[in-house]
Amino acid sequence: MTWDIAETDDIAACIALRRAVFIEEQGIAEEDEIDDLDDGATHILARVEGAPVGTARLLISGTTGKIGRICVLKSQRGTGLGAALVTHSIDNLRARGDLKRIALGAQEYAIGFYEKLGLRVCGPIYDDAGIPHREMEILL
């Protein structure tokens, strides 16, 4: 399957995907999911035949690029879209040329998925919205 994955200004589409996956499906509180960082972020949107199906959010803090809010609609899981979104996000951040590290907070069950994409665990388990996470990174 092929997807159109690109930076987008359509933040509403990204938030709608996050609402479907994180709030409705995973039960995360809206106040934990929707924050004030969206306006300053780079948003990545994946589409199939024009319909939004996945998203990720990129933030910069000093020399670290942070990938977050990665989600894929249930209908697209198992297709490779999640890996394509993360790879696109890593490539986007790496292309900046001024970062030393790329990081993300992985839900604990997904650590193996991210390890296959080149990230490694670099921190203890922590709670994010009631879900166990671990910090993961790629050093550039």
- Number of domains making up the chain: 1
| Residue position matching structure tokens 């910090």 | 135
pTM score: 0.94
Of 54-58, 64-68, 114-118, 130-134, which range is least confident? 130-134
In terms of Cβ atoms closer than 10 Å to its own Cβ (0-12, 13-18, 19+), residue 117 is middle
Burial level of 20, CB count in 10 A (0-12/13-18/19+)? middle
pLDDT (average), residues 55-74? 97
pLDDT class of 49 with cuts at 50, 70, 90: very high
**Domain that residue 95 falls in:** 4-139
- CATH code of the domain containing 25: 3.40.630.30
Q: What is the mean pLDDT of residues 24-41?
A: 92
- CA distances 27 to 21, 33, 131, 132, 134, Å, are 9, 10, 10, 14, 19
Residue 45: how many CA atoms within 13 Å on its side-chain side? Answer: 20
